[in-house]
């Protein structure tokens, strides 16, 4: 059985000690560490709830249409150093409450689909569930980012049921096709690879790849429509 606890490593502890409290009293530090571990465990539970919902939708879809719309579901919890960087970048307070209030993407679920049509079918099916609240949607498929990044982003809140309380937690969901995912992974690698310069030629090639990937998705969707699957 999977553990529900979020364990913080030594680096996280040091970072928390220096950033989340300016007091050195041991009880204060322990309180902060416990609070952060608890919050991350809640995010993990929310992430698992969403992952399960997509797995259920995938099963049900395959019963009805004899194919799986989901190629894979990936989950990730934002690392503490990324959490701190994002709070600082946005001029938000460094506190545990501030994480919950200001960040939407501590818990992330990425759903990779076979067809663009499936992205919207799954998003609609999830959003029609009565325990899911849509907080924000960004459709980078209909309106790609200037670098041609495509994906459908949903920020939702989902309830998690604890021993004595029910809490709503935010989860960022990214839905995309296999082609969109391959492109995003390549773009991320090229951009963040520190030992290689990101040249104009690479940017042009990447742009061409984005066009090809969009065309591939569109043709695949047309074929899917023809065979009505
Ligand atoms: P990681 O490790 O992937 O999480 P928000 O405050 O959420 O409204 P934000 O953070 O700008 O504003 O959200 P947005 O635009 O919805 O994008 C958040 C995430 O989408 C990023 O997370 C990436 O995962 C992905 N993403 C967005 N734009 C791009 C892009 O141009 N290229 C690639 N490859 N991915 C993109 P993080 O926080 O960068 O990292």
Q: Which of 105, 107, 155, 174 to mutate to test the pocket of ligand 1 (most atoms within 8 A of CB)?
A: 105
The predicted structure's pLDDT at residue 14: 73
Q: Work out the burial of residue 179: count CB atoms within 10 Å of its CB; fewer than 13 is exposed, 13-18 middle, 19 or more buried.
A: buried
pLDDT exceeds 70 at position 46: yes
Q: What is the pLDDT of residue 197?
A: 82
Per-residue burial over 89-118, b = 16 or more CB atoms within 10 Å of its CB, e = otherwise: eeeeebbbeebeeebbbbbbbbbbbbbbbb
The residue whose CA is least distant from atom 16 of ligand 1 is 153
Least confident of 7-11, 41-45, 83-87, 198-202: 7-11
Confidence (pLDDT) at 3:
43
**How many A from CA of 102 to the centre of ligand 1?**
15
Task: List pLDDT tens digits, range 138-163.
Answer: 999 999 999 999 999 999 999 999 99
Q: 48 or 190, which is more confident?
A: 48
Among 154, 215, 141, 221, smallest CA distance to 184 is for: 141
Residue 10, pLDDT above cutoff 80: no
pTM flag (> 0.85): yes
Index of the ligand 1 atom closest to the CA of residue 172: 7
Ordered structural domains, the chain, with CATH: 10-178 (3.30.460.10)
The yes-or-no verdict on residue 21 having pLDDT over 60 is no
Atom in ligand 1 nearest the alpha carbon of residue 155: 7
């Amino acid at each position: 059985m999977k553990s529900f606890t979020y364990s913080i490593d030594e680096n996280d502890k040091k970072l928390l000690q220096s950033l989340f409290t300016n007091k050195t009293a041991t009880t204060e530090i322990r309180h902060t560490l416990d609070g952060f571990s608890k919050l991350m465990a809640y995010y993990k539970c929310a992430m698992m709830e969403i992952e399960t919902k997509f797995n259920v939708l995938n099963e049900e879809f395959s019963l009805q249409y004899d194919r799986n719309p989901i190629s894979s579901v990936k989950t990730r919890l934002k690392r503490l150093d990324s959490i701190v960087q994002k709070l600082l970048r946005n001029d938000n307070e460094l506190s545990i409450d501030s994480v919950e209030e200001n960040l939407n993407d501590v818990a992330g679920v990425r759903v990779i689909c076979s067809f663009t049509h499936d992205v919207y079918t799954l998003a609609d099916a999830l959003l029609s569930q009565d325990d899911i609240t849509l907080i924000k949607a960004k459709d980078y498929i209909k309106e790609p980012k200037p670098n041609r990044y495509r994906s459908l982003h949903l920020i939702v809140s989902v309830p998690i049921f604890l021993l004595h309380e029910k809490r709503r937690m935010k989860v960022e969901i990214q839905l995309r096709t296999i082609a969109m995912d391959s492109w995003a992974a390549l773009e991320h690698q090229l951009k963040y690879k520190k030992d290689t310069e990101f040249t104009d030629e690479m940017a042009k090639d990447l742009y061409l790849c984005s066009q090809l990937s969009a065309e591939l998705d569109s043709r695949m969707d047309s074929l899917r429509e023809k065979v009505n699957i």
